[in-house]
Structure 1
Amino acid sequence: SFISVDKIYPFLCANDFIRVAEFQGSNKFELPYGIKRAEQFFRLALSRLQNCGLSSEEDSIACRRCVVVGNGGVLRNKTLGEKIDSYDVIIRMNNGPVIGYEEDVGRRTTFRLSYPESIFSDPIHYDPNTTVVLVVFKPRDLKWLWEILGGQKISAKGFWKKPALNMIYKSSQIRILDPSITRKTAYEWLHFPTRFPKKEKPKHPTTGLIAITLAFHICHEVHLAGFKYDFTDRNSSLHYYGNETMSQMIQNEYHNITAEQKFLKKLIDKNFVVNLT
């Protein structure tokens, strides 16, 4: 089949992450797509987290309807907020704000996928009902989580931009995404090579695509909003917030946006997902 989803449990748990990694083959890959040579960092970070459950209310819904909300400019002035808020599970990513944009993107967030560099650090964005899912790309990310939850001084070295220096979420609200979800996105969905030529920057899936993979693992029905990019107009808005334009995305060397858009088109054409935008 075009997409196969074995029901992998999406979050790592302190007591069995090594065993799970062996079972899924994550022990054969180094970060970002596995735990090889970073086991100690995973162990430290996971020791700071209270639990690894999906969260109390989600477990009880027999048929989970999910919407994955991308940060695309296509969401502007579509007033989809109320519709988005009607889903059982709402997955958002990085620092796509809801405050001030409720009419277009809704106000509820079940899961928010983030990196140390993209997690909210201003308490104005705090939501007690959100579970933050850390997508780990390097050992430094795990060390950061361990430091920030232990109230230690954060060293900002080794990040592509300044990471959050304070944590607005409780440790019980944080999960670590199983790298096998990201690996599946890269190799099985986007067919990225396992090795890139020396001169080429290795490509990784966008957070949006990783979020869609996560949705397929925890939802029965997956809808999308905010994933359409208009490449023809370089001056069109990249996001539904801020003033970055499409040209900034076109220049991105770390993502293969064309491959992702092709894949999304296939998902939509084959009715695996419903596209709201």
Structure 2
Amino acid sequence: MHKSLAFLIGLILTSCLIYILLGSYVVLHYSGRSSSTFHLGRDLLRNATKWTHALVEHDQNPKPSGPDVHGALRHYISLVDNKRTNLSCTSCALVSSSGFLIGKNASKEIDSRSCVIRLNMAPVRGFEKDVGSRTSLRVLNFFMIDVKPEALPNNSRLMVWGLLKRKDHLQDVTKMVKHLSPGSTIHGQTHKGELEAEELYAKETGLHPVKTRSWLSTGWFAMMLAVDLCQEVHVYGMVPADYCARRPRKDVPYHYYDLPHIKECSTYRHAERDKKGNHRFLREKVVFARWAQRYNITFHHPSWPMKFDARLFHNAGLLETILQWIRS
């Protein structure tokens, strides 16, 4: 009881000190100026953002340590011949489904990679200019929405996470195998593989997805596979964890192909606040920033600041919380 009270008092005093320091900064920095309230707030936000980045700068020569991400591939078994995939790639393009790719003309860059990984059944036709035209494999969730096996291009590879654990979905997918296009295959993830993915998330964030009503996203499983498959990973269209906190001028569509468009930042905010259970996209992105420092991962459209030290943000969403608090 006494420890809890002391902690609460310490927290209140710390908060007061921060407010005093920020208030002092504003008075000292803007005394004698005739800036409007708008410009004062804008400049304060810019300075606060600089402080945040200065706080997380670090020497990048030693690679941060953490739980190993490799090994995801061995947990995917073919429903066609009961074998594991032997696919390996030198340079991979992991193409997100974000509307951030709209108008980026990234086709040439994406298609130049030895392997192109896509999420779920995100379409290519009609969007080639921005998302490329090649597909080496798709990572899907066990619902297998919009999958028409006979319409798949020849030699398609589908990696379905969480499939082998769920018998009803497995039966439906097993029926699809008979209608697959020539050379195509579907690999289902074992229950052990799904458990390992959850444990990895728990080790990276300190929050177990089951205990915190969190659902791992298809992007999480795709990133795990990419690290295992590829010597270098190039991610396209995935925004960093602090993107929405910076209040971009235009909130891009959550998916580049859905009409009407659902906005990306509003989707992320809803997911983070949903106590009934949802994806925790922002927390996953903090982990991806950490992985980029340990593995050969590069982000394009947008690029991610490599001076951002995600190790310091074990409490996921901390950077967003800081920026939103400063704005309020």
TM-score of the aligned structures, taking structure 2 as reference length = 0.58
- 1:100-140 alpha-carbon deviations (Å, 9 max, x no partner): 01111101111101235344435796221320112225332
Q: How does 1:76-115 map to 2 (within 5 A)?
A: 76-115=102-141
Structure 1 partner of 2:324: none
Contact kept, 8 Å, 1:67 with 1:84, in 2: the verdict is: yes
Flag structure 1 segments of 5+ consecutive residues without an equivalent.
15-45, 151-166
Residue aligning to 1:218: 229
| 1:38-94 CA distance string (max 9 Å, x none) | xxxxxxxx4xx1353425xx45xxx62112111111111111111111111111111
- Offset of residue 145 of structure 1: 1.6
Match of 1:52 among 74, 79, 83: 83
Give the letter aligned to residue 70 of structure 1.
S
CA RMSD, 1 decimal = 3.0
Q: Is the 8 A contact 1:10 1:217 kept in 2?
A: no
Q: Does 1:237 align with 2:237?
A: no
Q: 1:173 to 1:101 in 2, by over 3 A?
A: same
SS in 1 for 2:214: coil
Q: Report the equivalent of 1:158.
A: none
Deviation at 1:9, TM superposition (A): 4.0
Asked whether the equivalents of residues 73 and 225 of structure 2 are also in contact (C-alpha less than 8 Å), the reply is no
Query: Which residue pairs with 1:188 in the alignment?
Result: 200
* Deviations 1:148-193 (CA, angstroms, capped at 9, x unpaired): 446xxxxxxxxxxxxxxxx554584211134444434332244432
Contact map agreement 2:121 2:147 (CA 8 A) in 1: no
Q: Partners of 1:241 and 1:188 in 2: how far apart? A: 31
SS of the residue 1:220 aligns to: strand
Q: Which residue of 2 aligns with 1:204?
A: 215
Cα contact 1:13–1:51 (8 A) shared by 2: yes
Out of 270, 276, 281, the residue aligned to residue 257 of structure 1 is: 281
Q: Is the 8 A contact 1:96 1:241 kept in 2?
A: yes
Separation in structure 2 between the aligned mates of residue 224 and residue 78 of structure 1, nearest angstrom: 14
In structure 1, the residue matched to 2:74 is 10
Label 1:66 to 1:179 Cα distance change in 2 as closer, same or farther (>3 A): farther
2:170 to 129, 134, 142: 142
Letter in 2 for 1:10: R
The answer to whether the 8 A contact 2:96-2:238 is kept is yes
Query: Separation in 2 of the partners of 1:248 and 1:125?
Result: 30
Matched AA of 2:255: H
Per-residue deviation, 1:208: 0.9
**What residue identity is the alignment partner of 2:286?**
K
Residue range with higher mean Cα deviation, 126-135 or 115-124:
115-124
- For 2:95 and 2:278, the matched residues in 1 are separated by 21
State the alpha-carbon separation in 1 of the partners of residues 234 and 172 from structure 2.
33
Q: Deviations over 1:192-249 (max 9, x none)?
A: 32642xxx6x312110111010111111111111211653369531112221222234
Larger CA Rg, structure 1 vs 2:
2
Tell me, yes or no, if the aligned pair for 1:149 and 1:171 is still in contact at 8 Å: no
Distance 1:7 1:122, change over 3 A: closer
Match of residue 64 from structure 1:
90
- Structure 1 vs Structure 2: percent identity of aligned residues? 22
Counterpart of 2:7 in structure 1 is none
Q: CA deviation at 1:146?
A: 2.5
Question: Residues 133 and 174 of structure 1 are in contact (CA less than 8 Å); yes or no, is this contact kept in structure 2?
Answer: yes
Which secondary structure state, in structure 2, belongs to the residue aligned with residue 64 of structure 1?
strand
Report if the CA contact (8 A) 1:204-1:256 is conserved. Answer: yes
1:248 maps to 267
Residues 71, 93 of structure 1: 8 Å contact kept: yes
The residue type paired with residue 142 of structure 1 is: L
